[in-house]
Structure formats: structure tokens, C-alpha cells
Amino acid sequence: MILLTHAISITFTLSDLLILTGIICLIIFTIYLVLTLKSLIAFLKQTTELMEESSKVIEDVQEKSKALDIFVQDVVSNGKGVFKIISALKR
């Protein structure tokens, strides 16, 4: 293939074009790989943050359910309000 620009001729052989195409493909693949890895790192960071938040929510729910369980046991055992009937039946 001959390229003419301002009276300068440059000749490319087929093997030169093949090598050039290979280099361009490697550059494009490298850019794709870098962008993919950046996206993956961002995704993993966000996933870690969500896992930490969900762990906090789970701990909070467990604490509140324990407090509710203690409250219900206290109300039923001491017979307050509506639970007077239940505590009377238990005795």
C-alpha cells in the first residue's frame, strides 16, 4: 500500500499492517481492561459499604427484638393492662 502525502511516499507491507493492527488491538484491549477493573473495584467498594450497613441494621433489629421480648415477658408475668387476664389464667 502506498500513501502519498506532499510528494513523500511511504510504503506499508502487509506484515507491517498486521503488526500495527495487533498493537492497536492490544492498546484497545488494555484500555477496556483498565475500565472494567475500575468498575469492578467501585462495585466491590459499594458492596462492602452495603454489607456494613445491613450488618448494622441486623444488629439493631436483634437488639430491639430482645427488648420487645423482655417487655412482653414483663407485661405478661406482672399482669398489666389487657394481660391481667392472661397472668390470672397462668396462676
- Residue tagged 415477658 (cell numbers): 73
pLDDT bracket for residue 81 (50, 70, 90): low
pTM exceeds 0.85: no
**Distance (Å, rounded) from C-alpha 90 to C-alpha 84?**
10
pLDDT bracket for residue 16 (50, 70, 90): confident
Q: What is the pLDDT of residue 25?
A: 97
**Rg, Å, the chain Cα set:** 36
Q: What is the pLDDT of residue 90?
A: 60
**Distance (Å, rounded) from C-alpha 20 to C-alpha 53?**
50
What's 9's DSSP letter? E
